[in-house]
């Protein structure tokens, strides 16, 4: 049995999501649903999370434009709000995306972040500089 965290890999790149699922910009509702199904299937491969209070940190360059909007810490409420706007844009209300990062890759990044945070129970994600060292720690 493992006592500490272990590294796990998923076939979940945002470039793959944008390429394989998003044919339109913004993606259609069906494209979003298909991408969600794929991401959820990938997330189910992860070991069950024992501590939902683990601080999530990312150095992904794809998240940098999102961090530029509200700062380095993205709360789940903010991510959910952005995802709702993407969903509305998928239904034809494209002005909902005003002020958000544009393009299929940005939409894929948001979808993966939202699904990961939502299903893994993370309340926030801190975006660090792309080349910074990441240390995961529990909130006390």
Going residue by residue through the chain (140 aa), what tens digit of pLDDT does each one get?
A: 444 555 556 667 889 999 999 999 999 999 999 999 999 999 988 877 666 667 788 888 999 999 999 999 999 999 999 999 999 999 999 999 999 999 999 999 999 999 999 888 889 999 987 665 544 444 44
Domain assignment present for residue 37? The answer is yes
- The pLDDT of residue 5 is 53
Domain assignment present for residue 31? The answer is yes
- The pLDDT of residue 1 is 41
Helices (H), ranges, 8-137: 14-21, 29-43, 64-70, 76-90, 104-120
Please list the residues that pair with 56 across neighbouring strands: 125
**What does the alpha-carbon distance between residue 69 and residue 35 come to, in Å, rounded to a whole number?**
24
**What does the alpha-carbon distance between residue 58 and residue 74 come to, in Å, rounded to a whole number?**
11
**What does the alpha-carbon distance between residue 31 and residue 34 come to, in Å, rounded to a whole number?**
5
- The pLDDT of residue 9 is 61
- The pLDDT of residue 7 is 57
The torsion region of residue 121 among left (phi > 0), alpha (psi -120 to 50) and beta comes to: left
57: which DSSP letter? E
- The pLDDT of residue 95 is 96
Number of domains comprising the chain:
1
Domain assignment present for residue 122? The answer is yes
Domain assignment present for residue 91? The answer is yes
The CATH number given to whatever domain includes residue 111 is 3.30.420.150
The residue range of the domain holding 93 is 14-127
């Amino acid at each position: 049995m493992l006592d500490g965290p272990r590294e796990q890999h998923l076939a979940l790149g945002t470039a793959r999501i944008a390429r394989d699922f998003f044919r339109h910009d913004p993606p259609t509702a069906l494209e979003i649903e298909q991408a969600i199904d794929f991401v959820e299937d990938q997330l189910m491969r992860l070991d069950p999370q024992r501590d939902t209070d683990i601080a999530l940190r990312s150095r992904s360059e794809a998240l940098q434009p999102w961090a530029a909007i509200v700062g380095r810490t993205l709360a789940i409420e903010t991510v959910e709000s952005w995802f709702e706007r993407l969903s509305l844009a998928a239904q034809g209300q494209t002005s909902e995306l005003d002020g958000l990062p544009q393009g299929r890759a940005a939409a894929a990044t948001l979808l993966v972040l939202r699904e990961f945070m939502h299903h893994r129970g993370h309340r926030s994600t801190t975006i660090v500089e792309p080349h910074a060292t990441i240390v995961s720690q529990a909130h006390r």
